[in-house]
Amino acid sequence: MSETELSHYDTRSAICEYGRSLLDDDLTTGTGGNLSARLDEEHVAISPSGVPYEDITPADVPVVRTDGTVVEGDVEPSTELPMHLAVYENRPDVGGVVHTHSPYATTFASLGEAIPASHYLLSFTGSEVPVAEYETHATQELGEAAVDALGGEYNATLLRNHGVLTADEDLDSAYTVALMVEYCARIHYQARAIGEPEILPDDEIDRLSEKLDSYGQ
């Protein structure tokens, strides 16, 4: 194993582990969804295409340049690579991206409805989880739609009629956001089944975001 491959091993291994967690945490089914992490200004590691998560090894995780050229790994990168690269190109603050098909959040994606802040943990994402315009999966256009919805202020967006994309400073944080989006989607779904949820105001979400940023420091 080369020095470069050794330096990327931990990140590629983390992608394997979080991929298995997608199934364990009911954030996707089968080989659906994908994850990536920024390695440096010119390289990204991303989960491979069509390989069962339980079978992926670090060597299977492709490393690609920001132009999409594969430089490490023998397995094709996820077909959603264009979407991941679009996020990294437009959000220099992002170090990890997670795409899921989590059921409650995807329900709202299929409705074309943003998830509002009916639970304080939505502050992990911003004042809401907005909805990106529909585009065919695995296209550059889908990446552009996701980037437009994220803007510079959100850490998550619903992909209309498709699923969820989360982005944060590293892969661990992006995965946490994916968990929080699904949890808040479930709470909002259940609250709406009973009555009309109360929505937290934006200034409270701002305060909560600041508290979360300093939590554990």
Active-site annotation holds for 80: yes
CA-wise closest residue to 45 among 53, 32, 36, 58: 36
Residues of the chain with pLDDT under 50: 217
| Number of domains making up the chain | 1
Q: What is residue 53's DSSP assignment?
A: G
Q: With DSSP H G I counted as helix, E B as strand and the rest as coil, what are the percentages for the chain, rounded to 5?
A: 45, 20, 35
Quote the pLDDT of residue 215.
59
Question: What letters, b where the CB count within 10 A reaches 16 and e where it falls short, cover 140-154?
Answer: eebbbbbbebbeeeb
Query: Domain with 168 in it: what CATH number?
Result: 3.40.225.10
CA-to-CA dists, residue 152 to 94, 174, 190, angstroms: 10, 15, 30
The span from the CA of 185 to the CA of 191, in Å, is 10
Catalytic residue among 41, 80, 141, 196: 80
The domain of 43 spans 3-214
Which of 14-41 are b and which e, b meaning 16 or more Cβ less than 10 Å from the residue's Cβ? bbbebbebbbeeebbeebebbbbbbbee
Write down the pLDDT at residue 62. 97
Q: What is the pLDDT of residue 217?
A: 43
| The model's pTM | 0.95
